């Protein structure tokens, strides 16, 4: 129990798989690599959707 508060090591962190709330614990066999790959992809897609909303909604050129 050195620093893990008596909890199994595979409880934290959790990952959301897809858009559904499908939670599963990470294990030490390299699944934590998915977070490192998926996180920038999710940020990129969010930025593209925001820019599309910004330009399609006409907020980039008010009064035009």
pLDDT of residue 43: 97
- Of residues 3 and 58, which shows the higher confidence score? 58
User: How do the domains of the chain map onto residue ranges?
Assistant: 11-57
Sign of the alpha-carbon torsion through 17, 23, 27, 33: positive
**Mean pLDDT score, 18-33:** 56
- Check: CB of residue 32 under 8 Å from CB of residue 12: no
Beta strands in the chain (DSSP E): 14-16, 23-25
* Per-residue pLDDT at 19: 45
Structure tokens at 10: 């595979």
Q: Which residue has the higher pLDDT, 34 or 14?
A: 34
Question: For 22-34, what is the mean pLDDT?
Answer: 61
Mean pLDDT, residues 39-64 taken together: 90
Give the E-state strand segments of 4-58 in sequence order.
14-16, 23-25
Read off the pTM: 0.46
């Amino acid at each position: 129990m050195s620093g893990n508060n008596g909890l199994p090591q595979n409880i934290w962190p959790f990952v959301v798989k897809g858009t559904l709330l499908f939670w599963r614990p990470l294990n030490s066999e390299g699944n934590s690599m998915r977070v490192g790959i998926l996180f920038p992809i999710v940020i990129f897609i969010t930025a593209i959707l925001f820019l599309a909303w910004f330009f399609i909604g006409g907020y980039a050129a008010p009064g035009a």
